[in-house]
């Protein structure tokens, strides 16, 4: 009986959300990230907290993104993956509808830091 309980506990832990708490990206500034998101038009496709208009519906809402364990439902939601996704999603998933964005690596890090504030 004890062995079954231990096995069940291990299996449950293996399937649990591994996203952890808020993530921080050294040297990145979430406030700058929000400004970059406004400038490049993220809200044209995504409902975007902190940006009142437009309220895009082509992509998923970004509300609660910081707590999501996955990016685009398939990549671990970790800073290096998110920074790459924000800057050049098609390089990770050629079939995505999300375009590459005309931003620098530093700006992508700022956007990623801002996305992690969306709990």
pLDDT of residue 109: 98
**Does residue 75 or residue 8 have the better pLDDT?**
75
What are the tens digits of pLDDT across the range 87-111? 999 999 999 999 999 999 999 999 9
Residue 54 DSSP class: -
- Give the number of other Cβ atoms within 10 Å of residue 101's Cβ: 20
pLDDT at 2 over 80: no
pLDDT of residue 4: 55
Q: How many CA atoms lie within 13 A of 7 on its CB side?
A: 4
Query: What is the spatial distance between Cα 21 and Cα 113, in angstroms, rounded to a whole number?
Result: 13
Contact 111, 37 (CB under 8 A): yes
Query: What is the spatial distance between Cα 79 and Cα 70, in angstroms, rounded to a whole number?
Result: 11
pLDDT-based confidence at residue 5 (cuts at 50, 70, 90): very low
Instruction: Give the torsion sign (CA, 73, 102, 109, 105).
Output: positive
Query: What is the spatial distance between Cα 119 and Cα 94, in angstroms, rounded to a whole number?
Result: 28
């Amino acid at each position: 009986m004890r062995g079954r309980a231990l096995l069940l506990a291990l299996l449950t832990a293996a399937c649990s959300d591994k996203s952890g708490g808020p993530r921080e990206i050294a040297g990145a500034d979430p406030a700058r990230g929000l400004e970059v998101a406004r400038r490049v038009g993220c809200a044209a496709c995504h409902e975007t907290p902190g940006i009142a208009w437009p309220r895009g519906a082509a992509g998923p809402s970004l509300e609660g993104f910081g707590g999501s364990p996955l990016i685009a439902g398939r990549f671990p939601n970790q800073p290096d993956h998110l920074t790459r996704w924000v800057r050049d999603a098609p390089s990770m998933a050629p079939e995505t509808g999300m375009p590459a964005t005309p931003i620098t690596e530093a700006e992508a890090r700022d956007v990623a830091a801002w996305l992690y504030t969306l709990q």
